[in-house]
Amino acid sequence: MPSRIVSTLRPTAVNSVLAEVKALQAQGRSIVSLMRGEPDFPTPPHIVAAASEAMAKGRTTYPDNRGEMKLREAVAAKLARDNQASYNPATEVLVTTGATQGLYCALTALVDPGDEVLLPNPVYDAYQSPIRLTGAVPRPVASEFADARFTLSVEALEAALTPATKVLLLNTPWNPVGTVFTTKELAAIGDFVLRHNLTLISDEIYEAITYDGCHHVSPASLTMELKARTVIVNSLSKTYAMTGWRSGYCAAPKPIIDAMFLVLQQSSRGPAMFVQDASTAALSGPQECVAEMQREYSRRRAIVMQGLSGIPGVQPIAPEGGFFVMADTRGLNEPSDQTRQRLLQKHGVVVVHGSAYGSQGEGTLRISFSSGSVLEEGLIRLRNGLLELLP
Ligand X SMILES: Cc1ncc(COP(=O)(O)O)c(C=O)c1O
Query: How many Å apart are CA 103 and CA 235, to the nearest integer?
Result: 11
**How near is the Cβ of 280 to ligand X at its closest, in Å?**
17
Phi, psi dihedrals of residue 328, rounded to the nearest 5°: -80, 110
Question: Is position 121 an interface residue for ligand X (rule: CB under 6 A)?
Answer: no
Cβ 39 to ligand X shortest distance, Å: 10
Distance of closest approach, residue 165 Cβ to ligand X, in angstroms:
21
Contact between 71 and 171 under an 8 Å Cβ cutoff? The reply is: no
**Is residue 371 involved in binding ligand X (CB under 6 A)?**
no
What is the Cα–Cα distance from 323 to 87, expressed in whole angstroms? 29
The β-bridge partners of 330 are: none
Ramachandran angles phi, psi of 228, nearest 5° = -70, -15
Nearest to 290 by CA among 250, 371, 236: 236
Q: Which is nearer to ligand X, 252 or 314 (CB)?
A: 252
Residue 237 touches ligand X, criterion: CB under 6 A:
yes
- Rounded Cα distance, 24 and 122, in Å: 28
Q: By CB under 6 A, is residue 207 in contact with ligand X?
A: no
Q: Which residue intervals of 203-287 are DSSP H helices?
A: 224-227, 254-264, 273-284
Which listed residue (33, 34, 35, 37) binds ligand X by CB under 6 A?
Answer: 37
How many chain residues interact with ligand X (CB under 6 A)? 13
Question: Omega of the bond prior to 176 within 30 degrees of 0, cis?
Answer: yes
98, 190, 219, 385: which one contacts ligand X (CB under 6 A)?
Answer: 98
What DSSP string runs through 42-110? PPPHHHHHHHHHHHHTT--SPPPTT--HHHHHHHHHHHHHHH-----TTTSEEEESHHHHHHHHHHHHH
Q: Taking the complex as a whole, how short is the minimal distance between the CB of residue 36 and ligand X, in angstroms?
A: 8
> Interface with ligand X by CB under 6 A: which range of 24-32, 96-104, 194-202, 358-366?
96-104
E strand or H helix at 234: strand 230-235
CA dist., res. 5 & res. 81, Å (int): 41
243-302 residues in contact with ligand X (CB under 6 A) are 243, 248
CB of 45 to ligand X, least distance (A): 21
Residue 171 as a binder of ligand X (CB under 6 A): the answer is yes
- Interface with ligand X by CB under 6 A: which range of 97-105, 106-114, 190-198, 253-261? 97-105
Q: Are the C-beta atoms of 20 and 30 separated by less than 8 Å? A: no
Residue 307 in contact with ligand X, rule: CB under 6 A: no
**Smallest separation (angstroms) from ligand X to the CB of 106:** 12
Interaction of residue 124 with ligand X, rule CB under 6 A: yes
- Beta carbon nearer to ligand X, 207 or 381: 207
Indicate the SS3 state at residue 137. strand
- How far apart are alpha carbons 324 and 133 in whole angstroms? 28
Q: Which is nearer to ligand X, 34 or 332 (CB)?
A: 34
Please identify, using beta-carbon distances, which residue of 176 and 316 lies nearer to ligand X: 176
Provide the CB-side half-sphere exposure for 91 (13 A, CA): 4
Nearer to ligand X, 128 or 235 (CB): 235
Q: Which residues pair with 170 in a beta bridge?
A: 202
Least distance from C-beta 96 to ligand X, angstroms? 8
The one among 108, 172, 175, 221 contacting ligand X by CB under 6 A: 175
Contact of 248 with 237, CB cutoff 8 Å: yes
Closest chain position to ligand X (CB)? 98
Q: Which stretch binds ligand X (CB under 6 A): 93-101, 185-193, 354-362, 379-387?
A: 93-101
Q: Does residue 203 bind ligand X (CB under 6 A)? A: yes
* Closest alpha carbon to 326 in 366, 370, 354, 355: 366
Q: Does 199 bind ligand X (CB under 6 A)?
A: no
- Give min distance, CB of 225 to ligand X, in A: 25
User: To the nearest whole angstrom, how small is the minimum distance from the Cβ of residue 201 to ligand X?
Assistant: 11
Residue numbers of the site for ligand X (CB under 6 A)?
37, 98-100, 124, 171, 175, 203, 205, 235, 237, 243, 248
